[in-house]
Structure 1
Amino acid sequence: MQIYQFKKEVGKKITKFDSNFVMSRIMKTEKVTHIGCIHLEKDGVVGYHQAVVPQLLLIVEGEGWVRGETDDYINVQRGEAVFWNQGEWHETKTDTGLTAIVIESEELDTSSLVSI
């Protein structure tokens, strides 16, 4: 058995796209799948940018706001997941703090998820 951590303290500060968050990478597979954990502090933001590949954001703690290609923000909270298609513009922000798992892959299948 091996024990790993994805705490904020082992992550990397990300500032690209005018962002302000810490990303703790979790896994990369041969099938070009990236799994990471992002830690947004109070007033944190993952800046507005296009998804390079399909992306799934799973909120594990806190709450925040997300948007796609419109200016309309939707509130999201712990236990909810957001999916963006490849090429889709998107942004995530929080007033109070948010922790989320991010899965990025050309082969994402969201058929098992329950819609809100």
Structure 2
Amino acid sequence: MKFYRFDPEVGKGIAHFNSNFIMSRIIKTEKPTQIGCMHLDPNGIVGFHQAVVSQLMLIVGGEGWVRGDDAEKYCVKSGDAVYWEKGEGHETATNTGLTAIVIESEEINPSNFMSIKASESLSL
């Protein structure tokens, strides 16, 4: 399990076409990719299971915790991204509610675009 950042501080200012915004690049794929939005209500959980394909979860609202095969729980909040490789066990839960964009593909490598976030600051 790896943690990444996609908050504005790691993005790039865009001024083309009279624009004024920050873009945080996330991923680029050549192979089929599935992208979904996951909504967990308060006390929601995605039970522990092995990833069928590599998966990147981008927390866009709320907060909760995740764990991998090591069973240690890590806090996550809006702006955090968590990556699990194919076959890696994982679980996600929240007390207050959480919304996330989930990207699944045989071919994703968040390290190409995203900054690593120190996981020790996330430990519960």
The two structures have a TM-score, normalised by structure 2, of: 0.68
Runs of at least 4 residues off by over 6 Å? none
Shift of 1:71: 1.8
Q: CA deviation at 1:39?
A: 0.2
Structure 2 SS opposite 1:96: coil
Name the structure 1 match of 2:38.
Answer: 38
Question: Deviations along 1:14-60, whole A, 9 cap, x unmatched?
Answer: xxxxxxxxxxxxxxx99331100000000000110000111000000
The gaps in structure 2 that reach 5 residues or longer are 1-28, 118-124
Residue 76 of structure 1 is matched in structure 2 by: 76
User: How many angstroms apart in 1 are the aligned matches of 2:56 and 2:49?
Assistant: 15
> Separation in 1 of the partners of 2:84 and 2:114?
14
Higher RCO (CA-CA < 8 Å; seq separation 6+): 2
Tell whether the 8 Å contact from 2:30 to 2:107 is kept in structure 1 after alignment: no
Distance of 1:30 and 1:45 partners within structure 2 = 31
For structure 1, list consecutive stretches of 5 or more residues without a partner in the other structure.
1-28
Q: Identify, as 1 or 2, the structure richer in helix.
A: 2
Identity of aligned residues (%): 60
The match for 2:105 is 105
Name which one, 1 or 2, has greater alpha-carbon Rg: 2
Supply the distance in 2 between the matched residues of 1:89 and 1:74 (Cα, whole angstroms).
14
Correspondences of 1:14-93 after superposition (within 5 Å): 31-93=31-93
Query: Secondary structure at the residue paired with 2:110?
Result: coil
- Aligned-pair RMSD on alpha carbons? 1.5
Aligned residues: 88
Answer yes or no: is 1:114 the counterpart of 2:110. no
How far off its partner does 1:115 sit? 1.0
